[in-house]
Structure 1
């Protein structure tokens, strides 16, 4: 199948220039638009063969469905960073954005169905794993261009969907194995108790790394908490005797890791001298406070770019592709882990 990327290569222009030209954006000269449309037609690009290049019903707007906790900076700075990348990438491609929660806060009706029925968007990016069955059936029936970004839709992941995200299992395994290779065996972890697949995969990676290295899993040092700095801090305070016995902590978000470090410090436990700490996400805050946080980096920018480009390709070709692409995280070594 011919894609926008193929046309861009032949035309010697960027992917976004091709996208804007095929959408008749006023940011591109008529000469360039005509050249690109001719190349696309000669290459058999389906957007042109189906006579959609001048479709006046296109809105050049992409919808974004975000979780209800998106507005609470205490909970997770990571998602704010992701949303920033997403808005910029959509703008680069010549589109505008419309952001909604999954449910209307007043009448509790589905904003997913509302956005599509309004005909004000060309495609939809869903950053939410708990959409309902009737919403999924609605999407399938309409055959509307949709990408699930970052969050796996828990109930429908085995269905015909487009998903782009990060390998959380590998990230959890990588973080734990790194601590093990530094000589640590008593490794506690702080995971979430409410959001399902993402943290379950990180915890499964943690458990698998322990098992692979012959270390018995101790359920008493797997702590389930919420997303807030305060709750993670309080977990350490309430269980300080346990944390005096462990040699390392795998905190499954950076915000959690920063709370762990602060709580340990306030209880006379030095990081990394007494307890090593590794986080997950690689948010900016980890670079600002000493000791600088060792963490697992999620390639947010890459998954956002791939998601936007894939969604636009689906919009242009009118073919949902059932793409499931997972990017690998990687380790960022800083100062909060030492060898023992």
Structure 2
């Protein structure tokens, strides 16, 4: 296996010059740079990432912890993260916590052993968990995506879930609905409670009574929406419209309602949340609240890299704004 000395000998330069070419640590003339890179190609030489990281005190690698789900939302955010890492010349190590706090801590240990330059966390199922390892490494740059209040200092990227819940409910009201229900996510999670609070506020502002029989707590998965419809039926009369707090549950609910003989939206209007890629391809196409998922991933990477450049800068909370996407699953009442 070729070494740096072999490349230097063939290119007729010093080993330090070879190092400067590959680490971009000092200006090297274009002619010499070409000779060094040609010699490396001829010798099939690959620079040592470990040696470079020890010398430069960075690995150009970041870690990301995520709880996987059947929800394509996470994959769409990850696509934004991966693209931005590639554009910025960083490698990404992805770890799945599977919603387990012990696995999360083990994954963080592994990433620290790999000498990652910083971490991104998108594990809202572990919201509220105390993670002692961050207290032991206070200098580790961390960006958290869509969690509630942090027990430790970190930059944070979040969507304005309260506004999104309000927008969704207001759209139903604007279409003449007054019998409106809500399928929430797990209400111990910040996103779910914020969307639900936006729903409640929109009803109150319109002086519409809240019917507790039409409020069902779901799990942000398709089966949660399916089961929520069965519970609504058991509770008695159905509302004319539902705000379902993510698209996956909305699709599960539409499936259950259709099996029961209802037509969406003439019998039941449904609005979702997230605007996942599949939302426009179901029948009827789903009116929903758009989250800028690619932007969320991109912003998380940019925020982490900015923290690496300026470790002492004030912590940031960056809020991305939701927007309404009108399709065909809501009909005007009356």
TM-score interval for Structure 1 and Structure 2 normalised by the shorter chain: 0.7 to 0.9
The equivalent residue for 1:89 is 84
The equivalent residue for 1:171 is 164
The equivalent residue for 1:61 is 61
The equivalent residue for 2:132 is 134
State whether residues 164 and 326 of structure 1, in contact with CA within 8 Å, keep that contact through their aligned partners in structure 2. yes
| 1:152 aligns with one of 136, 144, 147 | 147
- Quick one: structure 1 residues 164 and 119, their matched pair in 2 at CA, closer, same or farther if it must change by over 3 Å? same
Q: Deviations over 1:24-80 (max 9, x none)?
A: 579xx977xx9xxxxxxxxxxxxxxxxxx995221110100112xx0x42xx22112
The equivalent residue for 2:73 is 78
| CA–CA separation in structure 2 for the residues paired with 1:87 and 1:293 | 28
- Quick one: structure 1 residues 55 and 192, their matched pair in 2 at CA, closer, same or farther if it must change by over 3 Å? same
Superposed CA RMSD: 3.0
Q: Secondary structure at the match of 1:110?
A: helix
Q: Secondary structure at the match of 1:88?
A: helix
Larger radius of gyration: 2
Which stretches of structure 1, 4 residues or more, deviate above 4 A after TM superposition? 23-26, 102-109, 241-244
| 1:222 aligns with one of 215, 221, 233 | 215
Q: How does 1:297-316 map to 2 (within 5 A)?
A: 297-316=290-309
- Quick one: structure 1 residues 335 and 25, their matched pair in 2 at CA, closer, same or farther if it must change by over 3 Å? farther
Q: Deviations over 1:55-113 (max 9, x none)?
A: 5221110100112xx0x42xx22112111221121111100111124589797571364
- Quick one: structure 1 residues 109 and 248, their matched pair in 2 at CA, closer, same or farther if it must change by over 3 Å? closer
* Structure 2: segments with no counterpart, 5+ residues: 1-21, 34-52
- Quick one: structure 1 residues 256 and 316, their matched pair in 2 at CA, closer, same or farther if it must change by over 3 Å? same
- Quick one: structure 1 residues 312 and 243, their matched pair in 2 at CA, closer, same or farther if it must change by over 3 Å? farther
| 1:247 aligns with one of 227, 240, 243 | 240
| 2:315 aligns with one of 309, 322, 328 | 322
State whether residues 172 and 203 of structure 1, in contact with CA within 8 Å, keep that contact through their aligned partners in structure 2. yes
State whether residues 80 and 294 of structure 2, in contact with CA within 8 Å, keep that contact through their aligned partners in structure 1. yes
TM-score by length of 2: 0.77
| CA–CA separation in structure 2 for the residues paired with 1:265 and 1:257 | 12
- Quick one: structure 1 residues 190 and 243, their matched pair in 2 at CA, closer, same or farther if it must change by over 3 Å? farther
Q: Secondary structure at the match of 2:63?
A: strand
